[in-house]
Amino acid sequence: MKAPHPDIEARAIDAIRKADHFTASIFLGRGKHRVVTAPTVWAAVRAARIIETDPQAFTRRAIIYAIASDGIATMITAELIQKLTALVLKTESVTP
């Protein structure tokens, strides 16, 4: 798999820091979507896992966006979420 350009990842991290809120959305077919708004990226990840269990979603994955106060949306990739999760787990294991 091709490694993402570091500038793209840096912009996504900056978008997470500056986000007004986050959304998790999933396509349910024929113009139907389900969108959940969340205050943090972790709440959006949890919401994504919940909406993925919708029977209409079949095997589709939810997409998470960081929404800035001016309305600009930045997609947060699954790879970036995995890196952030690993970083949090690493930090928690070091903290007494």
Across the range 51-63, mean pLDDT stands at: 92
Evaluate whether residue 96 is within a structural domain: no
Domain residues for the domain of 68 are 6-91
Q: What is the pLDDT of residue 86?
A: 87
Split at pLDDT 50, 70, 90, the class of 1 is: low
Q: Give me the amino acid identity at 46.
A: R
Evaluate whether residue 1 is within a structural domain: no
Evaluate whether residue 46 is within a structural domain: yes
More confident residue, 18 or 9: 18
**Residue 38, C-beta contacts closer than 8 angstroms, at least 6 positions apart:** 21, 22, 23, 24, 44, 46, 47
Q: pTM of the entire structure?
A: 0.83
Q: What is the total count of domains within the chain?
A: 1
Q: What is the pLDDT of residue 2?
A: 67
Evaluate whether residue 41 is within a structural domain: yes
More confident residue, 96 or 29: 29
Complete edge-to-edge strand list for the sheet that includes strand 21-29: 32-38, 21-29, 63-67, 73-76
In this structure, what token pair is assigned to residue 59? Answer: 């095997």
Across the range 17-46, mean pLDDT stands at: 96
**E-state strands within 1-96:** 21-29, 32-38, 63-67, 73-76
